[in-house]
Chains A and B, each alone.
Chain A
């Protein structure tokens, strides 16, 4: 892989601090780059940055590179790295934490589309029925048409019922999913982010740089008092 010099302008301490304040952020500053995570990862060969590299990139605050990395989406959530990390960093949970941040920046890919479809089905029906998932996802990603023969064989085995599978009463689910909407909205408010900027929004906007300056002082404070902060459940909420 081509090695590039990290230019100071690509570093965004505010982004780093936002990640450090999440429930998985506490131990990230302690990473010693041993590479157990990368060595344990069954899919690191598919990633543009290994989990080890990604943790270092978070430490450096390389917002654009981290949030546009395929690493967080290639991860299959097997948690091998998480149980092995000698520093108690949880790389799998870090990937999970970065996903909504990337989405909030306007990122969209086949994995995030599937997450959108899945969450939508659960919010509406309370349960995930495979047929509904596959057909809705097929609209967004026509490429999965090649899975059609598999779908048909599942149907023939009685494993893909066409009736939708629902809870009797879904009214609580709206309240549950609203817990997430709030946190994303707050995050956007804080960052002065504009969804209309779309994919280009990942990285350094003028607003973010402005914020970077303001964050200077708090950055140091966070590094030291991370443990208390980590109990907070939402990524960007407290910034």
Chain B
């Protein structure tokens, strides 16, 4: 299995832990992610002009070399998905292609890494790679942009793919009514008070489930829920103390990868208790 890989900007900075876990876990599973040369930012949610936004992703789609494009980031994924739909309009495609060296022919399929695992690689095959079934309860948190406004693999209202992945790893996905409710991430810099309020709602609901951790698929959600968890605790005077981990880190733990090779030490909310509960480390060498 081979994909053109579009890591997105966060993998270099705030999501460096995600990157470490993706590299190690995908290597073990034998899924090849070939990074696109000289890739550009998708514009996230901050390029106001629609044509420019579509063109930024068109350039990425054009560089796929006949492979599907895989990305670890919900924002990148949604921008690529939206652009690929918008570019079905041939007038827009012609206009955008004028600005591109490598033209986009309209045939690239973007995939989030979760889709790669759940749909392409397959959960039965993942199950074969589980060395240490996780006897924990986990909140499946999808965020907004993994499934909305469009996606090719799950329901925008009640997605189940992350739930199934958590079950496959031997853990229990708890019923979580806010699985696709906004975490506040996009407003982190510009409207922090509002962002903390949104995150607080997610935490309160997550704590009610008695879960050991929240599982995320997006660097922005992780920055908000892990990075700003302390800020939520002090603003609302509540105790949360809930590790927030990437789904690839959860996979790594179940596959017996040493936690050190999953970037878990880079989290703000320590995952130590969680790791201890799972029962330690390095079965796999």
Contact A118 B46 (CB under 8 A): yes
Contact B89 A129 (CB under 8 A): no
B22 at the interface (CB under 8 A from A): no
Q: Which segment of B163-171, B178-186, B203-211, B252-260 sits at the interface?
A: B178-186
B238 at the interface (CB under 8 A from A): no
Complex Cα spacing A90 to B156, Å: 14
Contact B46 A115 (CB under 8 A): yes
Known interface pairs A127-B9, A154-B14, A176-B59. Does A78 touch B148 (Cβ–Cβ under 8 Å)? yes
Indicate which residue in B39, B49, B78 contacts A179 across the interface (CB closer than 8 Å).
B49
Q: Which segment of A58-66, A166-174, A213-221 sits at the interface?
A: A166-174
Contact B12 A43 (CB under 8 A): no
Q: Which segment of B94-102, B120-128, B131-139 sits at the interface?
A: B94-102
Complex Cα spacing A129 to B149, Å: 26
Contact A233 B95 (CB under 8 A): yes
Q: Which of A78, A84, A144, A167 has the most CB of B within 10 A?
A: A78
Complex Cα spacing A136 to B187, Å: 17
Residue of A nearest to B78 (CB): A79
Q: How many residues does chain A have at the interface if contact means C-beta atoms less than 8 Å apart?
A: 68
Chain B, interface SS category: loop
Contact A175 B47 (CB under 8 A): no
Contact A83 B46 (CB under 8 A): no
Complex Cα spacing A46 to B149, Å: 22
B227 at the interface (CB under 8 A from A): yes
B56 at the interface (CB under 8 A from A): yes
Complex Cα spacing A202 to B228, Å: 36
Residues of A within 8 A of B (CB): 23, 42-43, 46, 74, 76-80, 82-84, 90, 92-93, 96-97, 99-100, 103, 110-112, 114-115, 118-119, 122, 126-131, 134, 137, 144, 146-147, 150, 153-154, 157-161, 165, 167-170, 172-173, 175-180, 183-184, 231-235
Indicate which residue in A76, A97, A157, A169 contacts B186 across the interface (CB closer than 8 Å).
A76
B194 at the interface (CB under 8 A from A): yes
Contact B190 A167 (CB under 8 A): no
Residue of A nearest to B75 (CB): A77
Contact B14 A119 (CB under 8 A): no
Residue of B nearest to A137 (CB): B189
Contact B49 A180 (CB under 8 A): yes
Contact A172 B52 (CB under 8 A): no
B235 at the interface (CB under 8 A from A): no
